[in-house]
Chains A and B, each alone.
Chain A
Amino acid sequence: MTEKSTITLTINGHDHAIAVEPRRTLVDAIREDCGQTGTHIGCEHGICGACTVIVDGEPVRSCLMFAVQAEGKAIRTVEGLAAGDTLHPMQQAFIDHHGLQCGFCTPGFLMLAVGVLEREPDISDDDLIDVLSSNLCRCTGYQNIIKAVRAAAAEMRK
């Protein structure tokens, strides 16, 4: 299992040439090989969603994907959400609605919500809560996350 192959991961528009074992997960490659530690690991079996990133427009759990499967795809992580000093509406809404406490699950929720709203800007409220129920948060009790995502959705539709 130690034979490495050289791949290029494109994260937030930047290319990272790395050598990884075939078994290396995408999240480990993003964090350890590409140094982007904003994407977090919460369970490593695809349940908590802390590691959610956007791959070719779809939110995915980067603990359930191998790094080699992501070659040639456009990967977006939390580090790429803001435009310079200007926060993405989703980030701003999380501040405005106190949508985070410890902040560990937050990058996963941001990428999940942004990925879904870009694809489906007019998503129904019920479907939105269904989507958000796919990630776990242990601090907020979710209501402020829901409020933040609703507010950002309105902002993103403008």
Chain B
Amino acid sequence: MTGTKQTYVGQSLPRLEDRPLLTGQGRFAADISFPGQWTMRVVRSGVAHGKILSIDVDAALALPGVHAVWTGADVAHIPPIPFRLTGLKTLEPYRQPVLAQDIVRYVGEPVAVVFAADAYVAEDAADLIDIAIEPLPAQVRATEPPGAFAEGLSTEPGVIRKGFGDIEAAFRDAHAVVSLELSVGRHSGVPMETRGAIGRYDEARDILEMHGAAKVPHWNRDTIAQMLGRERHSVQFFEGHVGGGFGIRGEIYPEDVLVCAAALTFRRPVKWIEDRREHLIAANHSRDQTHRIRAAIDAQGHILGIDNEFFHDNGAYIRTHAATVPDLAAAMLPGPYRVPAYRVAGHIRLTNKTPAGTYRAPGRYESTFVRERLLDAIAAEVGVDTVEIRRRNLIAKSAMPYTLGLETLGTHIVYDSGDYALLLDKTLAAAGWDELQTQLQARRAQGEKVGAGVAMFVEKSGLGPFDTVRVDILPDGGVDVITGVASIGQGIETVIAQICADALGVRYDTIRVIHGQTDRIDRGMGAFASRVTVMCGEATRMAANKLRDKALQHAAQLMQTGAESLDIVDGEVVRIGGGPSMPLRELARALPDGLSAEDTFESTHMVYPYGVHVAAVKVDAATGAVAIERYVIGYDIGKAVNPKLVEGQIAGGLAQGIGGAFLEEFLYDEAGEPLSVTFADYLMPTAREVPASTILITEDAPSPLNTLGLKGAGEGGANPAGAALAAAIDDALQRPGAVTRLPVTPMRLKAMTSG
């Protein structure tokens, strides 16, 4: 009997999430409505920086269907939005108020809100609100000297400083020094579902509810409760379907606080759904860094030291991520290479642009671009090819676990496992690298501008400190897995069910994974930093094992045998070797307290997947367009629970990486006016721009930090895409170091080729 037991982990099974999403039964934020609800519309600043002189709301209030208008004065008692991660003390004066108080600092900043009967009336009313603003000079470049945020507060609220080794000695002893200035443009996650939130006050139970929660429902619940002066259990958050996360969705924004405060004040459900223009000027931007980097090298191109100074354009305020993005950029920059000495200074700079936060591979899309450009420049300096220079500098497998000597997200960075050289070999083989080089040379000889590039990286994932999971056997034989994580579309219901199914001995499609409901579990960490499969997966395995042991103990009594002679197969407690069996549901019914178990997985270290991207491109010198002819990704994630979903994560990340490399950019004019406010200006890749890619998932370096060897898969598709494509363009142009800035738009590429 036990020999036939099915194993779910490692199989590309169909998703449990799909059916309602395919039949129109999804419950996204805009799909949630309550009787008698009001619509909230935000009136935003049209000026990048200025002093509010007056706000005239009379005409708006006179419009039929308008219930109320709030300005800054109405919410002055609500504190600014606190930090969730990397919250340095010096950043606190720069937090964003829920509505502007006297000064506006970016186009799109909430200045007032209208509450009305429906969205059409609310928009009409918003147009009637007259805001007089006296303009102040706008700061639009983070590389220029800092100005004043407010009296006594510089627009440089902090500098991230990290390092190790003797950097002075490294440069003193260097055979050569390679210096570069590189920048990555301002772009962001831009999920297809805009943000949305519905506040509802249940007077009978004195419970404030927020629907449309995402990403980190428990933290947001606790924080909004605190901001509004309520006990945390009197506030409950509910996550429905979430139309893409990517780091940006689900952080606390002013609008989330406003719908909750309004629901309490007006005792009415209050619904806010963002429109696309608002999204592009109000939701977190990301990236936008300029790095000035120098490497000290020996005659063979071995890195002796890296010294980097960079400028991070955080926009107008410091939001929930505080210093997270520049901190990660600084801490993850060394990547898969031996760097004996390192020094970095990351200047956090505020400008009069939409505030910034994390976006898939935050800080690493940027620092991988910078590091890999540096490796390519070292190769050119030494006169070896770009693969050979990497081989010379990679951290050896024998050095694992590798203590980098830096900290980020409250953890010491220790690469837990990895065989970087092996993955490089495998990926180059999958790309047919040697043959590709021959073909490209022949085509270049015919006048074609074709080339290939390689980029390598180390990712981080599985951020703790904990995840708790409860597993319940239901009376109908189903299994509930209740977690404090969240779904942003990545397929966690399926993956967690697969892990639970193996541990418990039930079919994966009998398991329902419940997430993002603060009234079902008291604490939870949510979904970010590629943490869910690692942290929640291990917690699920532990809780399911505990439940299995419990079930077998009870069954042994009822079946009058020893627990060691029993097993659970397809939801049935069976005797090993045959005989009468008992379904789990009957066992659960037979027990006065039912059948349930809870466990918590704690972890103080992250786990570090790693990868290689290989890109081959053709540059059209006449149009400045780049066609991707081949794209191969090798990624070692220790153990793939569902390889098809892992591939999906990587392919989707790649599309976003390509967007950042070629198309996507939030542009501003000199006055701080945003120029990328529709999908006609902010261009995202379509089915035409994203090529078919070859994805090689390897399991050569399971993590020693959890039982299944899991590492996260969410960010490796995006991380080095800009770096690999830049290298391929250099090669196509036969000009090492040509690309210094992303995105490489047709206009910029044409300027490079004609220059």
Which positions in A face B, CB cutoff 8 Å? 1-2, 21, 23-24, 28, 31-32, 36-45, 47-48, 50, 77-79, 81-82, 87, 91, 94-96, 98, 100-107, 110, 129-130, 132-146
Give Cα distance in the complex from A82 to B24, angstroms. 10
Q: Are A44 and B124 in contact (CB under 8 A)?
A: no
Contact of B193 among A40, A77, A95 (CB under 8 A): A40
Contact of A44 among B275, B491, B656, B686 (CB under 8 A): B275
Identity of the chain A residue whose Cβ is nearest the Cβ of B23 in the assembled complex: A82
* Contact residues of B between 170 and 215, Cβ < 8 Å to A: 189-194
Q: Are A45 and B651 in contact (CB under 8 A)?
A: no
Interchain Cβ contacts under 8 Å between A and B, 6 examples:
A38-B24, A40-B243, A95-B22, A98-B644, A100-B18, A101-B491
Min C-beta distance of A21 to chain B, whole Å: 7
Interface size class of B (residues with CB under 8 A): 35 or more
Min C-beta distance of A146 to chain B, whole Å: 6
Give Cα distance in the complex from A30 to B720, angstroms. 42
Cβ–Cβ < 8 Å partners of A2 in chain B? 64
Identity of the chain B residue whose Cβ is nearest the Cβ of A149 in the assembled complex: B687
Binds A, one of B26-34, B252-260, B728-736: B26-34
Interface centre among A21, A28, A78 (most CB of B within 10 A): A78
Q: Are A106 and B276 in contact (CB under 8 A)?
A: no
Q: At the interface, yes or no: B617 with Cβ under 8 Å from chain A? A: no
Q: At the interface, yes or no: B489 with Cβ under 8 Å from chain A? A: yes
Q: At the interface, yes or no: B261 with Cβ under 8 Å from chain A? A: no
Give Cα distance in the complex from A31 to B101, angstroms. 36
Q: Are A140 and B652 in contact (CB under 8 A)?
A: yes
Q: Are A39 and B192 in contact (CB under 8 A)?
A: no
Q: Are B690 and A103 in contact (CB under 8 A)?
A: no
Contact of A48 among B26, B192, B491, B653 (CB under 8 A): B192
Q: Are B686 and A102 in contact (CB under 8 A)?
A: no
Min C-beta distance of B611 to chain A, whole Å: 16
Given A1-B124, A41-B30, A141-B652: A48 touches B645 (CB 8 Å cut-off) = no
Q: Are A102 and B192 in contact (CB under 8 A)?
A: yes
Given A94-B18, A102-B192: A141 touches B655 (CB 8 Å cut-off) = yes
Cβ–Cβ < 8 Å partners of A87 in chain B? 19, 22-23
Cβ–Cβ < 8 Å partners of A23 in chain B? 120
Q: At the interface, yes or no: B42 with Cβ under 8 Å from chain A? A: no
Q: Are B686 and A103 in contact (CB under 8 A)?
A: no
Q: Are A141 and B18 in contact (CB under 8 A)?
A: no
Q: How many A-B residue pairs have CB under 8 A?
A: 173
Cβ–Cβ < 8 Å partners of B644 in chain A? 98
Give Cα distance in the complex from A130 to B21, angstroms. 24
Q: Are A138 and B190 in contact (CB under 8 A)?
A: yes
Cβ–Cβ < 8 Å partners of A91 in chain B? 22-23
Cβ–Cβ < 8 Å partners of B244 in chain A? 101-102, 104, 138-139
Min C-beta distance of A3 to chain B, whole Å: 12
Identity of the chain B residue whose Cβ is nearest the Cβ of A81 in the assembled complex: B23
Cβ-closest 8 pairs across A and B: A38-B24, A102-B489, A104-B243, A103-B21, A141-B651, A141-B655, A47-B679, A78-B24
Q: Are B655 and A142 in contact (CB under 8 A)?
A: yes
Cβ–Cβ < 8 Å partners of A36 in chain B? 24
Contact of B22 among A21, A47, A77, A100 (CB under 8 A): A100
Cβ–Cβ < 8 Å partners of A104 in chain B? 26, 28, 191-193, 241, 243-244, 489
Q: Are B21 and A100 in contact (CB under 8 A)?
A: yes
Min C-beta distance of B492 to chain A, whole Å: 11
Cβ–Cβ < 8 Å partners of A44 in chain B? 275-276
Identity of the chain B residue whose Cβ is nearest the Cβ of A78 in the assembled complex: B24
Cβ–Cβ < 8 Å partners of B242 in chain A? 102
Cβ–Cβ < 8 Å partners of B717 in chain A? 141
Q: At the interface, yes or no: B246 with Cβ under 8 Å from chain A? A: yes
Give Cα distance in the complex from A21 to B65, angstroms. 14
Given A24-B120, A38-B26, A42-B276: A141 touches B654 (CB 8 Å cut-off) = yes
Min C-beta distance of A44 to chain B, whole Å: 6
Q: At the interface, yes or no: B693 with Cβ under 8 Å from chain A? A: yes
Give Cα distance in the complex from A103 to B242, angstroms. 8
Q: Are A136 and B489 in contact (CB under 8 A)?
A: no
Q: Are B687 and A145 in contact (CB under 8 A)?
A: yes
Min C-beta distance of B118 to chain A, whole Å: 8
Give Cα distance in the complex from A137 to B192, angstroms. 7
Q: At the interface, yes or no: B300 with Cβ under 8 Å from chain A? A: no
Given A42-B193, A138-B684, A145-B687: A94 touches B120 (CB 8 Å cut-off) = no
Interface centre among A101, A130, A133, A141 (most CB of B within 10 A): A141
Give Cα distance in the complex from A120 to B692, angstroms. 24
Identity of the chain A residue whose Cβ is nearest the Cβ of B491 in the assembled complex: A101
Q: Are A50 and B192 in contact (CB under 8 A)?
A: yes
Give Cα distance in the complex from A102 to B241, angstroms. 8
Cβ–Cβ < 8 Å partners of B191 in chain A? 102, 104, 138
Min C-beta distance of A33 to chain B, whole Å: 11
Give Cα distance in the complex from A95 to B645, angstroms. 12
Give Cα distance in the complex from A41 to B490, angstroms. 21
Q: At the interface, yes or no: B678 with Cβ under 8 Å from chain A? A: yes
Cβ–Cβ < 8 Å partners of A78 in chain B? 22-24
Interface centre among B119, B189, B644, B686 (most CB of A within 10 A): B686
Give Cα distance in the complex from A43 to B28, angstroms. 15
Given A102-B244, A139-B489: A144 touches B651 (CB 8 Å cut-off) = yes
Q: Are A142 and B18 in contact (CB under 8 A)?
A: no
Min C-beta distance of A117 to chain B, whole Å: 15
Q: Are A47 and B23 in contact (CB under 8 A)?
A: no
Q: At the interface, yes or no: B15 with Cβ under 8 Å from chain A? A: yes
Could you give, for residues 666-701 of chain B, a 1 whenever the CB lies within 8 Å of some chain A CB and a 0 otherwise?
Answer: 000000000000111000111110101100000000
Identity of the chain A residue whose Cβ is nearest the Cβ of B655 in the assembled complex: A141
Give Cα distance in the complex from A101 to B491, angstroms. 7
